[in-house]
């Protein structure tokens, strides 16, 4: 059983990441539930998704129960840190150095170097996949992203994944 919070600002692609993870886990034959933010908040407001892998019925992570917090915005990390369980791991899009319990990658910069800051979500996902206990592997993410019907989008996503993997290596 793994529980996770994904957070960021509206427009950063949190829902996209949540869906990719859910589809990968569905393909693995595990039970999975997620909950996402829609409506007015997606106009640049605070956004989070909950993801729960295992025999659950509810789509919401309780405070103090998340194994991972995947954050596209350091300001939003603070808004969601209460979900993290003791010893849980934060993976954050930030130029700052790592700290105990927080692994960081400047995903925005790497994405901008690829020509599109919007790819920062996939860069962060690639990075996260290399950390201990993360529920999906780089290979599974690659297979999932390769399903995108548009060639251009597929190529950009795969390059963003690669950038995240290389940074972790």
Partner 1 sequence: MGTQDSDLRFLMGNEAIGRGLIEAGCSVAAAYPGTPSSEVLESLVRWKKELDHPIYVEWSVNEKIAFEVAYGASLAGVRSVAIMKMVGLNVASDPFLSAAYLGVRGGLVVVVADDPGPHSSQTEQDSRFFAWFGKVPVLDPGTPAEARDMAVRAFELSEKYQVPVLLRPCLRVCHARQNVALAPPQEPKNVGAFEKNWTRWAATPKFRFVLHGELNEKLANMRKDEPESRPALISKGNGNSRAVITSGSVSSHVRDVIASDERLGSVDVYKVGIPFPADAEALQEIVDSHDETLFVEETYPVLELQLSDRRKVRGRLAGHVPPQGELIPEIVEDLILSLVGEEPAQREAPKVKPRRPSLCAGCPHRPAFFMTRKIFEDAVYTGDIGCYTLGVNMGAVDTCLCMGASIGMAGGFSRISGPDGPAGVVATVGDSTFYHAGVPALINAVHTRAPFVMMIMDNNITAMTGGQPTPAHDYLADGAPGNAVNMEKLVRGCGVDFVEVVDPYDYEALDTVLRKAKSYTFEENKGVSVVITRRACVRAPGVEVSDKKFGIGEDCDLCMSCVRDLECPAIYYVKGEKRMDIDDDSCTGCGFCVHICPVEAIQAKA
Residue numbers of the site for partner 1 (CB under 8 A)?
Answer: 9-11, 18-19, 22-23, 25-26, 31-46, 56-60, 62-64, 75-76, 78-79, 81-82, 108, 112, 117
Nearer residue to partner 1 within complex by CB, 38 or 151: 38
- Residues with Cβ within 8 Å of 15's Cβ and at least 6 positions away in sequence, in order, are 36, 37, 38, 47, 49
Nearer residue to partner 1 within complex by CB, 46 or 130: 46
Q: Look at residue 37 and give its three-state secondary structure.
A: coil
For residue 15, give both structure tokens: 């829902």
Closest contact distance (angstroms) between CB of 169 and partner 1 is 27
Closest contact distance (angstroms) between CB of 82 and partner 1 is 4
Nearer residue to partner 1 within complex by CB, 10 or 162: 10
What would you measure as the largest C-alpha separation in the chain, in angstroms?
Answer: 42
Instruction: Report the alpha-carbon distance of residue 5 to residue 147 in Å, rounded.
Output: 24
Closest contact distance (angstroms) between CB of 127 and partner 1 is 20
For residue 101, give both structure tokens: 């319990």
């Amino acid at each position: 059983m793994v529980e996770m919070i994904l957070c960021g600002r509206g427009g950063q692609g949190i829902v996209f990441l949540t869906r990719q993870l859910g589809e990968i886990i569905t393909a693995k034959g595990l039970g999975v539930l997620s909950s996402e933010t829609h409506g007015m908040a997606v106009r640049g407001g605070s956004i989070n998704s909950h993801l729960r892998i295992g025999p659950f019925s509810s789509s919401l992570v309780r405070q103090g129960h998340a194994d991972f917090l995947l954050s596209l915005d350091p300001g939003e990390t603070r808004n969601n840190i209460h979900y993290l369980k003791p010893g849980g791991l934060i993976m954050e899009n930030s130029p700052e150095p790592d700290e105990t319990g927080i692994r960081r990658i400047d995903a925005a910069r790497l994405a901008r170097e690829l020509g599109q800051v919007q790819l920062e979500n996939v860069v962060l996902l690639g990075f996260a996949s290399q950390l201990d206990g993360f529920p999906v592997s780089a290979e599974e993410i690659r297979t999932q992203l390769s399903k995108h019907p548009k060639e251009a989008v597929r190529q950009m996503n795969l390059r963003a994944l690669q950038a995240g993997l290389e940074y972790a290596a």
